[in-house]
Structure 1
Amino acid sequence: MTQPLVLSAFTATTALGVGNAPLLAALQGGTSGLKHCDFETAQIATWIGEVPGVNGVKLPPELAAYDCRNHRLALLGLQADGFEQAARAAIRRHGADRVALILGTSTSGILSAEAAYHERDADGALPAWFDYRATHNTGALASFVRDGLGLRGPAFTISTACSSSAKAFAAADRLISAGLADAAIVGGVDSLCLTTLYGFSSLELTSPEPCRPGDAHRQGLSIGEAAAFALLERADAAPEQPGPRIVLAGWGESSDAHHMSAPHPEGRGARAAMAQALQRAALSPQDIGYINLHGTATPANDLSEGRGVAAVFADHPAVPSSSTKGMTGHTLGAAGAVEAVVSALALQHGLLPGSVGMQTPDPAIPLNIVSVPQRLPSLRHVLSNSFGFGGSNASLVLSRQEVA
């Protein structure tokens, strides 16, 4: 990175509630938003992280063609914590053609396609109301937000499974560094759907109890949904704000190409992403005060990530780490952005989140996993990991900068 990018605004809407306040309260209290799966017609013995109030969201008439669960969730998230107002202020500062938009998702509005297939006629034709391009298509997410905000700069959706929205931060830095944008709105939105729930269940990756990241007896993940956003600007262009600044100090990406769904057993790609992020941030492992693990609570993922982290942090083995997916569920394409917001809140409030759900630490995972929230006012640098199917890996370093 040429210089750190300031997170001028950020927000996350999860199963814990709308916006940062309920998320921060859960991070401080070690509470979970997971519940028994009762989504649509799903008959799966698992737990989910469902955002309250999504069905009640109404899109404005000019955006009605985009109506689907994913875009309702996106709008709910954009309107939280004054983020939409901050985004519009940035557009006025920089110009609509100089603010990039990069968002991540894995399934986009596929729930609409599921409903459409249920309504096929005798010839197999889909109902007239179904608009694939504006709902199911992964590019629809960026189109919806772009049209809603009146953006005219670079805009696209990244869909690399669970690393999608973490990679959006890296893509934003590349665009700004290349002079193609002066600021960027980044984030991720992924909503619950039957395809995801039954898909992960068929892979035997869902847990019959709330997920337990890092636990010796973990049984799998809990699927969640979320919308998270951040506004990235160069320090010399960001508005002055009281208190410390949270910046994107570095990022790393890799593709280990080991297997379609299983991570490399020794975390080879994870190691590469973390090492790149540290290098770009000009930091050593000893500088990191907390690691937000990808930590899905599947047996293979947690073990692989643990080995990868242990290799990178061999000279700093006591660095505190945890997974926050026991609070929100695994929000898939939105996870990277959600956990970037978690990392930003941890830095703002001097907080080490606990790994909710972990009861008996797995002795095979050689990490210092925090089980309950702790205060750490000296926290300055956080590493956040997001690793997706197919070995698509991304790591972010967020830092706290004191402003004189």
Structure 2
Amino acid sequence: MNTATSCKLQAASEEDETGLPLVACRFELPPLAAYVHIPWCVRKCPYCDFNSHTSGPRLPEDDYVAALLADLDGDLGQVQGRELRSIFFGGGTPSLFSADALGRILDGIQRRVPFAADIEITLEANPGTFEQAKFRDYRALGINRLSIGVQSFQAAKLKALGRIHDGNEAIRAADMARTAGFDNFNLDLMHGLPEQSLEDALYDLRTAIAQQPTHISWYQLTLEPNTVFWNKPPRLPEDDTLWDIQEAGQRLLAEHGYAQYETSAYAQPGRQARHNLNYWTFGDFLGIGAGAHAKLSQPDGRILRSWKTRLPKDYLDPGKRFLAGSKALDIDELPFEFLMNALRLTEGVPAELFSQRTGLPLASLAKARQAAQARGLLASSPERLVATPQGQLFLNDLLQLFLD
């Protein structure tokens, strides 16, 4: 039974077993974004579990651009007349591609799907993979936001993480971004690094803040399966040190005007990442490129997740399909899928967004909401779905209540 069918079966006059009215659901096609995956890196980092592959002496730019646009052609029926609100080039290291190649991708996308007038276009870039002229060319293409993968400014930490740049190159990258005309850029920074002290972590944060980015993604290193670090774990800080780093780092960011709006995202006023906000509010996104994922709503209320062929050589093989698999979400999965994203936001979302994005009545959450509120994990607000500070700290425990 799809979500549209479930709506029709519930009359507005009915009540659930808790006595709350089953308000008729109001499903709407959400905003649309696009994710473009560039799967190559200079070197695979030992902590990375993303679909990234070491590049050879020459990247197959022309073939990959053609494949991306052919891949998009197969997904155009999912656009449903919507315009793109944001585009995100992720990887891998998209800044390995030339401005000419990225320009052909953007031009090809725009000829197929209209762009919103204020579209946000983000490019991930790593220090050591670009120069000033490249940055200027990227900006001239209409790319208006950069996300620079710094991770640390300290030589020993960068070496432990397998990064190819040093701290000075990271600082120069921020300078080059501003000089090229980027007034909106993110610095990606990790904490909880091998043998990292509180002082080490705060040094990295202070150095990042000094570059005056509009956005800082500050997140803890985790050991993921199928990585070098998973098989050969480094010595990471003790839990007490991690807690001290988290508390002190959040205070420091707040003191400098970076408000936390998501679990690991901090931004100056009005500079939240629109592309990521679309994910966290259960918006739709096209996904093109090797291993790219998509989430797309159908007019009948069904929600499909799909994923593309993972290995670049297979993605570029004209004898193989781009689509590797797809799945329609079951009704029982929708509450968790929605809240897994929405509750990452420190201010949560309007409660009515649940019905708009899933087609399910808000009352279907009633029992789990009451249990979460009783445990102090969810705010007692009828107008919003928002985790308490305690709920943010124990987000997995909070989400589990919506699975039971």
Instruction: Calculate the TM-score normalised by the size of structure 1.
Output: 0.29
Between structure 1 and structure 2, the one with the greater Rg is 2
Instruction: Calculate the TM-score normalised by the size of structure 2.
Output: 0.29
